[in-house]
Structure 1
């Protein structure tokens, strides 16, 4: 369901009062681009553990799912910059 939402498809009726969002935390629309940028930057050799290690070292969050909205945006910006420098 998360992939469909990321692609822009919306359900006709929400499943709950908040649609599964956690207040103040990064949403799927931020987390999925982080995973994609990580895979592009590592040229497919990066693992989820490697991403979580980078997240912990950079943002002091133990896992990708514990990023706040602000940290999620900073992670996207940082990965875009890392990818641009590598090119």
Structure 2
């Protein structure tokens, strides 16, 4: 499955394609590739009360990115 930003559509107020891709990349870096989308969704639900990336708004996406950057830097 390819993820093409042009085909994702735009949803006003929701996380951008770039934000979603950054979250996925940070999650992969944090988990060292051992945790996939389902684990990311579980973490999102525990931490932000969201069941999937598709429900992220721009403000929450920024918080998720900040949290993942902090987690990644602590793990290093």
Q: Confirm or deny a common fold (TM above 0.5).
A: yes
Please tell me whether Structure 1 or Structure 2 has the larger radius of gyration of its CA atoms: 1
Q: Identify the match of residue 70 of structure 1 among 44, 48, 59.
A: 59
How many residues align? The count is 73
C-alpha displacement at 1:23, in angstroms?
Answer: 1.2
CA shift, 1:45, in A, is: 0.2
- TM-score between the two structures when normalised by the length of structure 1: 0.77
Higher helix share goes to which structure? 2
Point out which structure has higher relative CO (alpha carbons under 8 A, 6+ apart). Answer: 2
Structure 2 unpaired stretches of 5+? none
RMSD: 1.7
Displaced runs of 4+ in structure 1, greater than 3 A? none
Partner Cα distance (2:46, 2:11) in 1? 23
**1:81 maps onto 2:75 in alignment:** no
Q: Who is 2:29 aligned against?
A: 40
